[in-house]
Amino acid sequence: MILRFSGLLLRMVDYERTVDVEATTLGDALAVAEARHPRLKMVLRDGHGQLRRTHRIFINGELAATAGLSTPMHSSDEVEFLTAIAGG
């Protein structure tokens, strides 16, 4: 499956726009990507290891409002993370 990153997240994956991983859940897929790009974890996850609410997750191009770490994934899936953060 493919993880896609854009915007400020690109910096956290060394501007590697897509990351190919083998995984059966979203959490496993992220763990692989985080092992490759350690800064990603701090941005994507909160102090309890859960996905921050501020990220939008698209699975195969559709907003997956209820997606979580245990969401099952298939090898043909594409997951995109979108982050809109503004200052005060």
When asked if residue 22 is in the footprint of other proteins (CB under 8 A), the reply is no
Output the smallest distance, CB 88 to other proteins, in A: 4
Lookup: tokens for 3: 């993880």
Q: How far apart are CA 45 and CA 30, in angstroms?
A: 10
When asked if residue 86 is in the footprint of other proteins (CB under 8 A), the reply is yes
Tell how far CA 24 is from the center of its chain: 14
| Interface positions, 38-77, toward other proteins (CB under 8 A) | 42-43, 46-48, 50, 52-54, 56, 58-67, 71
Output the smallest distance, CB 55 to other proteins, in A: 9
Tell how far CA 3 is from the center of its chain: 6
**Cα 19–43–10 angle (5° rounding)?**
40
Output the smallest distance, CB 26 to other proteins, in A: 10
**Cα 15–6–12 angle (5° rounding)?**
45
Footprint on this chain of other proteins (rule: CB under 8 A): 6-7, 42-43, 46-48, 50, 52-54, 56, 58-67, 71, 80, 82, 84-88
